[in-house]
Amino acid sequence: MKMFKKLSIAATAAVAAIGLSFGGFAGTADASSKLSGKVVIAGSTALLPLTQQAAKEFKKAHPKVSVSVSGSSSIAGPQSVQKGSATLGACDWDATRSVPGFKAFSGLKSHKIAVIPFATIVHKTNTVGNLTTKQLQDIYAGKITNWKQVGGKDAEIVVVNRAHGSGTRVNYQMKALKGAAFMTKGDNYKEVGKSGDMLTNVSNNPNAIGYIDLAYVKGNVKAVSYNGVAATPDNVIKGKYPVWSHGYLLTKGAPKGADAEFIKFMQSSKFQNGSLKKLKFIPVSAMK
C-alpha cells in the first residue's frame, strides 16, 4: 500500500511537470499568435517575389495578422504609404533621399530588407553572352540597332524598357548605363510597367533585350555578363558586379505593431539566409 502511494505521488509529480512543460510551450505559441493587425504592402515589383514569400511565412507564424501584397512600381511604394492606402511601401531605392528624377519623400522612414542584383536579359536563343557599358549605352540610346553590331546574328534589336517610376529602371540607368539617357521612342522600342511584363516581352521575342532582377531570370530568358562579369549574387558580394541596389520597406514614421514585426521578420537571420537567398536576393549583412 505504501509502495502504491509512493508511485502515485511520483506519477502525479511527473504529470504535473509534463503539464508545466506543455504549458510553457503553449504559452510561447500563444504569445506568438497573439499579434494581430493588418499589414498592407505596395510598390516594387522587383521585390514582389520576396515580399510575397515573406507574407506567406509571416502569416503562418501570426495567423491573426492580415497581410496583403501588391506590386506596380517602386514609386507607388512611398506614394501609397503617404496616402495611407498601404502601411509598408516596397521600393528599390531609399525614397527618404533624392535620386535622379525623384525627390525625397518627407515623413517616411526606410528599412533595408534585401540586396537586389539586376541583370541585362535576352532570349535564351540569343548567341550574345556579354555586353559592355558602352554597348548597352548605345543600344538603349538607339545608336546600336542590330545584334550583329555586338557579335550576334543579323537581326534588329527590340529594346524593352521599364516605364518611369520603376526602381529597376532607376538603378539600371545609374549603374549599368552610368547615367546615360534612354531613348524615348522608336519602331523597335517599348516600355512596360512591371517586372513580370518585362519577363514576358523578352521571353516571347528572340530579338529583345531588357533588364530585371535575378529573381525573375528563368524560362526563355538568360542573363548576359556585364563587362565580362556574370550577374550572380557571389559576384555582387565580391564587388565584381556593380548593378545592384538595396531594397527597402518604407513606413510613415516609426513602424508599430504588426508592421514593425513584419519588418523584423524580413530582417531576421532566418529569413535573410533562408527564403531570401533561395530567391536570388542577397542578405543585407553580406554587403556591410
pLDDT-based confidence at residue 3 (cuts at 50, 70, 90): very low
Specify whether 213 is located in the same domain as 159: yes
Q: Provide the pLDDT confidence category of residue 288 given band limits of 50, 70 and 90.
A: confident
Q: For the chain, give the percent of residues with pLDDT over 90.
A: 87
For the segment 136-155, the average pLDDT, to the nearest whole number, is 98
Based on the domain organization, do 65 and 102 belong to the same domain? yes
* Alpha-carbon distances of 110 from 24, 38, 186, rounded to whole Å: 36, 19, 37
Assess whether 110 and 163 both reside in one domain. no
Cell numbers at 118, concatenated: 539586376
pLDDT of 152 over the 50 cut: yes
- Encode pLDDT of 175-229 as tens digits: 999 999 999 999 999 999 999 999 999 999 999 999 999 999 999 999 999 999 9
Within-domain flag for 24: no
The pLDDT-based confidence of 31 (bands split at 50, 70, 90) is low
Tell me, yes or no, whether 156 and 91 share the same domain.
no
The pLDDT of 5-24, averaged and rounded, is: 40
Q: Kindly state whether residue 26 falls inside one of the protein's structural domains.
A: no
Domain boundary among the residues 237, 256, 277 is at 237
Domain membership flag for residue 31: no
Comparing CA positions, the residue from 248, 237, 1 lying closest to residue 108 is 248
> What is the arithmetic mean of pLDDT over 131-140?
98
Q: Would you say residue 26 has pLDDT above 90?
A: no
Checking if the pLDDT of 25 tops 60, the result is no
Q: pLDDT tens for residues 61-118?
A: 999 999 999 999 999 999 999 999 999 999 999 999 999 899 999 999 999 999 999 9
Residues 122 and 153 in one domain: yes
In a domain, 90, yes or no: yes
Check whether residue 136 and residue 197 sit in a common domain.
Answer: yes
In a domain, 5, yes or no: no
For residue 99, give the 3-state DSSP assignment: strand
Output the pLDDT for position 255.
Answer: 98
Same-domain status, 172 and 104: no
Neighbour-count burial of 29, counting CB atoms closer than 10 A to its CB (0-12 exposed, 13-18 middle, 19+ buried): exposed
pLDDT > 60? residue 9: no
Number of domains, the chain:
2
**How much is the pLDDT for 140?**
98
Note whether 138 and 224 are same-domain residues: yes
Q: Are residues 93 and 179 in the same domain?
A: no
Q: Which residue has the cell 504529470?
A: 15
The CATH code of the domain that includes 228 is 3.40.190.10
pLDDT tens digits for 217-241?
A: 999 999 999 999 999 999 999 999 9
Instruction: Please say if the pLDDT value at position 20 is more than 50.
Output: no
Structure pTM?
A: 0.87
Same domain (yes/no): 147, 228: yes
Q: Does residue 138 share a domain with residue 104?
A: no
State phi, psi for 118 to the nearest 5 degrees.
Answer: -110, 150
Question: Are residue 78 and residue 129 in the same domain, yes or no?
Answer: no
Would you say residue 14 lies in a domain? Answer: no
Report yes or no on 52 lying in a domain.
Answer: yes
- Boundaries of domain holding 105: 36-116+244-287
What pLDDT, in 10s, does the model give residues 249-285? 999 999 999 999 999 999 999 999 999 999 999 999 9
Confidence band for 32, pLDDT divided at 50, 70 and 90: low
Domain stops at, among 196, 218, 237: 237
Could you say which of 237, 256, 272 is where a domain stops?
Answer: 237
Q: Residue 3 domain-assigned?
A: no
Are 61 and 34 within 8 A, CB to CB?
Answer: no
